[in-house]
């Protein structure tokens, strides 16, 4: 009986944690990138500016996606080159140069994008744009990383708890079968 109570308590705890995480997700659906309110962000721009910025953003995302894919391939190739029994430093350095060139290309695309967006703005908007560019991104990024690590750890704990509950359930099932056999 004690095992059944423990099992029920663990199941209730698991369900409550899952419900809390789902509640957080539902609350955040109305928020945009990095919790920004899209309505507030666009209120200072004309419809034409918003449309042009959206087109520029799409173009940047498309180009960045291609570069990111290439970067991931090059990094995997570098890892392979480094993990052989006798690594060829000339090949490794060449691969590092290729990765650096792609990162350089990505940074230049971002600078070009920033400049293109800035050229769409009035003088007053440029001042606000320059003041807010990149503000808090690093701090926000660290915060998001910590939250991701925390959620990952919670997931691992819940998985372990689920495995324990499964094992306890199997043990209880065996005990019940043994009792039923003994009664016969």
Domain boundaries, the chain: 46-129
Q: What is the pTM of this model?
A: 0.51
Residue 148 makes CB contacts below 8 A (sequence gap 6+) with none
The CATH classification number of 46-129 equals: 1.20.120
Q: Using CA atoms, how far apart are residues 97 and 6, in angstroms rounded to an integer?
A: 58
Q: Using CA atoms, how far apart are residues 160 and 178, in angstroms rounded to an integer?
A: 27
| pLDDT tens digit at each of 184 positions of the chain | 566 666 566 666 665 655 565 555 444 444 444 444 444 445 578 899 899 999 999 999 999 999 999 999 999 999 999 999 999 999 999 999 999 999 999 999 999 999 999 999 888 888 888 887 766 555 555 666 666 667 767 777 777 777 788 788 888 888 888 888 888 7
pLDDT per residue over 51-103, tens digit each?
A: 999 999 999 999 999 999 999 999 999 999 999 999 999 999 999 999 999 99
């Amino acid at each position: 009986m004690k095992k059944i109570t423990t099992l029920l308590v663990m199941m209730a705890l698991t369900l409550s944690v899952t419900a809390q995480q789902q509640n957080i997700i539902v609350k955040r659906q109305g928020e945009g990138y990095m919790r920004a309110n899209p309505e507030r962000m666009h209120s200072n721009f004309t419809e034409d500016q918003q449309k042009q910025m959206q087109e520029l953003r799409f173009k940047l995302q498309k180009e960045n996606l291609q570069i990111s894919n290439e970067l991931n391939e090059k990094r995997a190739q570098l890892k392979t080159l480094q993990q052989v029994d006798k690594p060829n430093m000339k090949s490794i350095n060449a691969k590092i140069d290729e990765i650096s060139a792609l990162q350089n290309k990505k940074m230049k695309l971002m600078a070009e994008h920033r400049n293109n967006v800035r050229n769409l703005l009035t003088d007053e908007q440029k001042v606000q744009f320059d003041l807010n560019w990149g503000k808090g991104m690093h701090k926000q990024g660290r915060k998001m990383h910590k939250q991701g690590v925390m959620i990952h750890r919670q997931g691992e704990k819940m998985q372990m708890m689920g495995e324990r509950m499964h094992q306890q359930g199997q043990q209880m099932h065996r005990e019940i079968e043994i009792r039923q056999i003994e009664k016969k």
